[in-house]
Structure 1
Amino acid sequence: MSKENSEIIYHYTSVEGFLNILRSKTLWVSSLTEMNDSHEGVLHLPALKEAQQYIPLKVSDIYEKYPESINECSIEIQEGLDDIHKHIISQINLVLALSSSHVSPHICCFSHCKDKLSQWRGYGDDGKGIAIGFNRNKLQPKQDFHLGQDVRKSVEEVIYKYDEQVLRCKDFIKDFQNKVLDNTYNLLSINNSIPLKKEQNNQISKYVLENLSNLPLIFKNESFIEEEEVRLIYQAKNFDSAKYRCVNGNIISYFEHSFSPDAVEELIIGPKCRLKIDSKDFKNFLSKEYDHLLEEVRDLTEESRPINTKFSKFEHISFSKSTYR
C-alpha cells in the first residue's frame, strides 16, 4: 500500500505522553514557535511563483470548452482572460499574505513510518516511548468551511521535493482556472472583462483558503524526507479555546484535538521501552475504552513465537525491531 493511501499514521511520544493522550482522548496541536526546519513557512514562495508563470489563461482554453464561441472577438476575449488571470494570481498572493499575518498556524505531527530509528530518537523519548497508530480518516476533522471560521482544521501530507511542490501549485491554479472557464460568459462581455463582483471575490478567497492556505505548512526541505510526515493542522484566528504550556523556556499556545477511542488502531512499543504490556494495570487501563487493542493473535502456538526477540500476543500491539548502536 502506498503512503498516499495508507490509513494509519504514527505519533511518536513518551510513555507518559501516551498515557495522557489515551486518557484524555486528545492530541495537542501546538504553535509553530518551536520547529526543526529554519525554512519552515517560506518554501512555498518560489514554487508558487514558478507555477504562476507556466499556466496563463488562453482563448484556446475557452474554444476547447465552447467551440461555438469562435468568432472575430478573440483578441478582446483574450484581453479579458488576461485580466481575469492577473486578478486570480493577485488574489492568491493577497489571501496567502493575509492568512499568514492574521492566522496563527498550529500543528500535530505524525509519520507514515511505523518503526523508524530516527523517529524514536527524535520524538519517541530516545526509544523509550511508544508510537500510537491513528486511523487518519477517523482523525480527520469534520467541518463545514466558511471564511469567518475561527479555526480551520485539516490533515495534510508534507511535500519535500521541489518539483512536486511546483506541481501541487500548478494543479491548484489550473483547477481554479477551469472553474473560472465554466463561468466565462458571466465574467466577460464582448469587448472587455466585467469587473468581478464582491461575491465572486469572496468565492475566490474561499477557494484559495480551502485549497492553498496550508502550503506554507506542508512544504518542507528535502533533507527531512525520511520523516514521511503527515500533519494535523489548525489555522487559528481566535484563541478563546487555546491553552498554554512551557517549551524550551518559551510559553506557546496549543489546541486540544479530540478523537474517539476507535481512532487508535495500533501501538508500537519502542526499542528501549520498559512498559510491561502483560501487566494487569496496563490491560485494565486499555480495557476501559481501548479494549479493541487487546485482541489476541489468532492461532497462537509456541512454535509461532519468534526466537530470541520480544513478542506480543496482542494483534494490535507490537515491539519495535529497530536497533540502537
Structure 2
Amino acid sequence: MKLCGMMILEIVSYKRTLNKMNTIYHYCSPESFFSIIQNQRLWLSSMDHMNDYMEKKWFYSTLKKYLYKNLDANCVDQFIAHLDDNISIGTPFACCLSKSGDILSQWRAYAKDGFGVSIGFDREKLDVYDGIIGNNLDPKHRLTLSDISYMDINVIECLAERILSRYSFIKKYYMNEIISTSKFNRYDKCILELISNIIHLNTTTKNPAFKEEKEVRLVYQTLDTGRYEYPESSSIKDLKYRISNNQIISYYELGFPKDAVSELILGPNNK
C-alpha cells in the first residue's frame, strides 16, 4: 500500500504555502466586517450558491469526458456511479479567502464596490487541517484549508492520463476481472483513495480565468450519514440559514481566536 500512497501523492501535488505566506484575506462589506469581528465567526456557505456556476463541475466534467474517450464505456459508467455515490455523501460548505489583500476585482465583487474591508488572518492561528477534502468520519479532518488550483482543460486531461497510467487496474476492477481476494482488497483501497483525491480536486480546482483571485478556500465537508453532535469547544456550530439575493442560503459558523486577525485593509472607497 506504500506504493499506492506514493502514487496518490504524486498525482495530487497541490502546493502548501503555510510557511511562505501566513496571511490570507477575506473581502467583505462594512456590515459583514462588523459582524465577523464582533462575533469572531466566519461563515462557510453551501457551495451550491457560489458565484461561479462551474463550481464542483470544472474539474469533474473534463475528467469525465476524458475517461469516456479513453476507457470502455461500461467501466466508466461504473466508476462514475461509484464516484457520484461518494460525492453525494458529503456536502461542501466554503468560505473564500485570498493570498492578496488588495485586488481591485475582489473589492468590487465582494467588498461593496470598494467600500468594505479586507481582513487578514494568520492561517496558522485558524488551526485548520491542511489536507485532503474528503468524507472523513473525523470532523476535525472534514474542515480543511486549501489553496485553489487553476487548471485549464489540457492540464486536467494530462492529469487524467496519468491517473489511467498509474491506476491501470481500473478496468479489471470494475469489470470484475480480479480473482484474487487480496489483490481486490488492495485495489479497492487504492480506488477509494483515488476517489477522495478526485473529490478534493473537484472542490479546489477552478478555471484559470479566475487566477487573479489567488483564492484560498476554507471548506467544511458535511456527511449525510448521520448528524454529528459537536462539543461545546468545537469551532464549528450548528447549521444556520440566511436570506441573500432572495435566496435561502445554508451556512455554518467557524469560530476563530482574536489573535487570528493580523491585518485590516480598507477598500479604495472606504474613508
What's the TM-score once normalised by structure 1's chain length?
0.58
Once the two structures are overlaid, the 10-residue window that deviates more, 119-128 or 143-152, is 143-152
Indicate the RMSD between aligned Cα atoms, in angstroms: 3.8
Per the TM alignment, residue 123 of structure 1 is displaced from its structure 2 partner at its CA by 0.5
Q: In the alignment, is the contact (CA less than 8 A) between 1:133 and 1:267 conserved in 2?
A: yes
Pair 113,142 (structure 1): closer, same or farther in 2 beyond 3 Å: closer
Displacement after TM superposition at 1:253 (Å): 1.0
Q: Structure 1 pair 94/217, CA: closer, same or farther in 2 (3 Å)?
A: same
Does 1:44 pair with 2:41? no
2:263 alignment counterpart: 266
1:256 maps to a residue whose letter is E
Q: 1:156 aligns with which of 146, 154, 175?
A: 146
Identify the residue that residue 218 of structure 1 maps to in structure 2. Answer: 204
2:243 matches 1:254: no
What pairs with 1:120-269 in structure 2 (closer than 5 Å)?
Answer: 120-142=107-129, 147-149=136-138, 152-162=142-152, 163-166=154-157, 194-195=180-181, 200=186, 203-204=189-190, 206-208=192-194, 210-238=196-224, 241-269=238-266
- Distance of aligned partners of 1:149 and 1:91 in 2 relative to their CA distance in 1, 3 Å threshold: farther
CA distance in 1, matches of 2:54, 2:243: 23
Q: Which of 21, 31, 49 pairs up with 1:6?
A: 21
Alignment gaps of 5+ in structure 2 = 1-14, 170-177, 229-237
Which residue of structure 2 lines up, in the alignment, with residue 101 of structure 1? 88
Distance 1:206 1:138 in 2: 32
1:46/1:134 Cα in 2 relative to 1: closer, same or farther (>3 Å)? same
**Other structure's SS at 1:33 match:** helix
CA deviation string 1:174-196 (max 9, x = no partner): 7x759x9xxxxxxxxxxx75135
Between structures 1 and 2, the one with greater strand share: 2
Q: 8 Å contact 1:245–1:253 — kept in the other structure?
A: yes
- 1:21 equivalent in structure 2: 36
Instruction: Give the structure 2 partner of residue 119 of structure 1.
Output: 106
Q: Which residue identity is paired with 1:19? A: F
Q: 2:47 aligns with which of 32, 56, 60?
A: 32
Q: Give the aligned residue type for 2:251.
A: Y
User: 1:117: how far off?
Assistant: 1.0
> How many residues are matched?
231
Q: How has the CA–CA distance of structure 1 residues 153 and 140 changed in structure 2, closer, same or farther, with 3 Å as cutoff? A: same
Change in CA separation of 1:33 and 1:223 when aligned onto 2, cut-off 3 Å: same
Q: Taking every aligned residue pair, what percent have the same amino acid on both sides?
A: 33
Amino acid at match of 1:157: D
Which 10-residue stretch deviates more, 118-127 or 32-41?
Answer: 32-41
Structure 2 distance, partners of 1:44, 1:133, is 29
Helix, strand or coil at the partner of 2:199:
coil
Deviation, 1:133, is: 1.2
Q: Secondary structure at the match of 1:128?
A: coil
Shift in CA distance, 15/177, structure 1 to aligned 2, threshold 3 Å? same
Contact 1:105 1:236 in 2 (8 A): yes
Cα gap change, 1:171/1:258 in structure 2, threshold over 3 Å: closer, same or farther? Answer: farther
Query: Judging changes above 3 Å, is the alpha-carbon distance between structure 1 residues 25 and 206 closer, same or farther for their aligned structure 2 residues?
Result: farther
Deviation at 1:52, TM superposition (A): 6.0
**2:47 is matched by which residue type in structure 1?**
L
Q: Which has the higher contact order (CA 8 A, sep 6+)?
A: 2
Code of the residue aligned with 2:180 in structure 1: it is I
1:97 to partner: Cα distance: 0.8
Amino acid at match of 1:13: C
Indicate how the Cα distance of structure 1 residues 22 and 121 shifts in structure 2: closer, same or farther if over 3 A, else same.
Answer: same
Provide TM-score, normalisation by structure 2: 0.68
CA contact (8 A) 1:111 1:229 kept: yes
